[in-house]
Amino acid sequence: MGSNPSNLELYFLAMRHSSAGTEERKGFIESNERLEYLGDAVLSMVIAEFLFTKFPLKDEGFLTEIRSRIVNRESLNNLARTIGLSELIQYNGIQNTKSQSFKSIYGNALEALIGAVFLDKGHKFCRTFILKKLIIPHFDITHVINNDNNFKSKIIEWSQKENKNVSFRVVEIDSDKHYKRFEASVVLDKKTIKKGYGLTKKKAEQDAAEKSCELLKIK
């Protein structure tokens, strides 16, 4: 986009997974988690505006659903791999794909990168970066609309067909003034079957629902 980074340290930090965070500052290990929090919010806002403009006759439910399909964990993980972030992430130890920390490592790094671009270059540049370098080249919006990855809806529909009682419980964890993380549980007939995590309640619920769909083999 014709611009060089002004603060390289931000981009190095964006690629530093919590397992490799070694610089202790004011009681915590510095990693890309704070940038991930910021990038998550910026990405959601930019995509919300993009969809709002692109689909002027669609209601809030449609816009929310399509945005969630673009920013879900699997989608962001795949996009991060596509643009090569998997080769840049710093982490310690062997990746355990069953660990929540590592399962979202690529998508989290992508959100952290967006946070770094936002801080380094500002809103206008970051918005252009997201749309022209990430969304438009790598997402076919028509395909996104026709491809239903709303795992929460899937498991609710399945439970109704199977005459099962399903509910979602969400609690806030790892919270401070600047950072929130949520844990969601899928409860089937009063038994917790899977838990999921995310920086928003909706992301945590989708994560838990996706894991539950895998367990129950719901397609």
Report, as residue numbers or ranges, the catalytic residues.
40, 111
Compute CA 166 distance to the chain's CA centroid, rounded to the nearest angstrom.
24
CB atoms within 10 A of CB 177: 5
- The residues near 13 (Cβ < 8 Å, ≥ 6 apart) are 30, 31, 32, 35, 112, 116
Residue of 40, 60, 76 whose CA lies nearest to 199: 40
Of 173, 193, 195, 175, whose CA–CA distance to 184 is shortest?
A: 195
Nearest to 168 by CA among 150, 184, 156: 184
Q: Are 91 and 20 in contact (CB under 8 A)?
A: yes
8-state DSSP, 160: H
* Lookup: tokens for 181: 């993380």
